[in-house]
Amino acid sequence: GAVVSQHPSWVICKSGTSVKIECRSLDFQATTMFWYRQFPKQSLMLMATSNEGSKATYEQGVEKDKFLINHASLTLSTLTVTSAHPEDSSFYICSARGSRTFTNTGELFFGEGSRLTVL
Amino acid sequence: AQSVTQLDSQVPVFEEAPVELRCNYSSSVSVYLFWYVQYPNQGLQLLLKYLSGSTLVKGINGFEAEFNKSQTSFHLRKPSVHISDTAEYFCAVLYGGSQGNLIFGKGTKLSVKP
């Protein structure tokens, strides 16, 4: 099956520093990757959609200069939280979608999530 | 507007009892339907999906769901739950074909008590 891996699973950082979270598709090429943020006891909020080799498309209200997304290859996307503050503490989840030849069902494959705590 | 509604935010049940988690979506010509489960501090795992064909789909862990086009519903059921089924369940609908937008419901917290 399709596997998506996120790293790190947990990260604690000081306020003002930047944190990078990686999302990798291990056994398929992800033409599109999605980044979600999840607050406690709430649903997933789509932050941005990234296509390989293109700039990410951000959802309304998401600061693109704060949440930098790079999708430089078909198996890796990164989310960098710049100048992190305590209010950025959250659970970040990535997901990936393969090409039509890989899956024509539109199914997304999710990473394990990354818990960010900003002190 | 495209939307997915999970009517119950929390569902407490006793072990071995049946359970139904409800999901309704805004009508559309072409939809694919999914149920995901999330255990604490983990990502989402696909339980089952409806693409076409039989309206009753079976998934992992003994779950099943029925697609009802006239009622635009995709309720999740399990005849007998276990303590290990305690988790958050998300209904999701893909609008606009296989490369379209996946819209999530707000989730239902299933709590199974002994």
Q: Is B28 on the interface with A (CB under 8 A)?
A: no
- Whether the CB of B60 is below 8 Å from some CB of chain A: the reply is no
Predicted pLDDT of residue A29: 86
Q: What is the mean pLDDT of residues A45-61?
A: 89
- Read off the pLDDT band of B32 (50, 70, 90): confident
Share of chain A above pLDDT 70, in %: 92
Q: CB-based contact (8 Å) between B59 and chain A?
A: no
pLDDT class for A104, splitting at 50, 70, 90?
low
What's the average model confidence in pLDDT over B93-97? Answer: 79
Put simply, whether B95 touches A (Cβ < 8 Å) is no
Please name the member of A91, A100, A110 whose beta carbon is closest to the beta carbon of B98.
A100
pLDDT digit string, tens, across residues B58-93: 999 999 999 999 999 999 999 999 999 999 999 998
Q: Which residues of B touch A97 (CB under 8 A)?
A: 99
Residues of B in contact with A103 (CB under 8 A): 98
Nearest C-alpha in B relative to A102: B98
| Residues contacting A8, CB < 8 A, separation 6+ | A21, A114
- Between CA A20 and CA B1 the distance in angstroms is 34
Q: Using 50, 70 and 90 to split pLDDT, how confident is the model at B98?
A: low
* Amino acid sitting at position B69: K
From CA A108, how far away is CA B67, in angstroms rounded? 20
The distance from CA B8 to its chain's CA centroid, rounded to whole angstroms, is: 12
* Mean pLDDT for the stretch of residues A22-50: 88
Sort strands B73-78 and B56-58 into parallel, antiparallel or unpaired: unpaired
Cβ-based neighbour number of residue B106 at 10 Å: 17
For chain B, say whether A15 makes contact (Cβ under 8 Å).
Answer: no
Across-strand partners of B60? none
The reported pLDDT for the residue numbered A51 is 86
**What are the residues whose beta carbons fall under 8 Å from the beta carbon of B53, sequence distance 6 or more?**
none
Judging contacts by C-beta atoms under 8 Å, the chain B residues touching residue A110 are 36, 43-45
Contact B99, A106 (CB under 8 A): yes
Task: Tell me how far apart the alpha carbons of residues B95 and B3 are, in angstroms, rounded to a whole number.
Answer: 10
Tell which A residues from 32 to 51 touch B, by Cβ distance under 8 Å.
Answer: 32, 34, 41-44
Task: Look at residue A21 in the predicted model and tell me its pLDDT.
Answer: 96
CB nearest to B49's CB, from A34, A42, A105:
A105
Report residue A103's pLDDT band, with 50, 70 and 90 as the boundaries: low
- Place B101 in a pLDDT band, splitting at 50, 70 and 90: confident
Q: What is the mean pLDDT of residues A16-31?
A: 92
* pLDDT of res. A106: 64
To the nearest whole Å, the CA of B42 is away from the closest chain A CA by 5
Residue B52's Cβ-side half-sphere holds a number of Cα atoms within 13 Å equal to 7
pLDDT-derived band at A39, boundaries 50, 70, 90: confident
